[in-house]
Amino acid sequence: MIEQTEILLPAFERGFHLITEIIIEKLPGFPEKGLLNLFIKHTSAGLTINENADPSVAADLETSFNKLVPDGIKYYLHTMEGPDDMPAHIKSSLVGHSVTIPIKNQKLNLGTWQGIYLCEFRNHGGRRNLVATIYS
């Protein structure tokens, strides 16, 4: 069986934000076993799974991505939407637009230190739309 719903996230500032609890709250429940696929419907934000215990992980990810792909590089051609837009597209391509998580015993079967992150790469990205598909 396949169930699908859309989740509208609140606006987040630029950075990496744990959204695991938001996802769990917004979904009606999980089957005994299956898969959850989350897909973000934007080209300047992404999704990833990483450590959820130490907030410095999110800060280090943000710092590292900004060093890898800085804003305002002179050779960017796509500049009409501001200096943070093209870097956001590149970063979202590096991170990806979906994550798939196993479900076991009606819960997300994440590791002890794993959480789902929204990777907001724009200074003012606004609310982000996710598609959540549960396969059971």
Residuewise pLDDT in 10s, the chain (136 residues): 999 999 999 999 999 999 999 999 999 899 999 999 999 999 999 999 999 999 999 999 999 999 999 999 999 999 999 999 999 999 999 999 999 999 999 999 999 999 999 999 999 999 999 999 999 9
Number of residues in the chain? 136
Question: Which pTM does this prediction carry?
Answer: 0.96
Helix (H) or strand (E) holding 29: none
Q: What angle do CA 57, 60, 62 make, to 5 degrees?
A: 110
Domain ranges in the chain are 2-135
Query: What is the CATH number assigned to the segment(s) 2-135?
Result: 2.60.120.460
Q: What angle do CA 80, 83, 89 make, to 5 degrees?
A: 80
Give dist(CA 38, CA 130) in Å, integer: 6
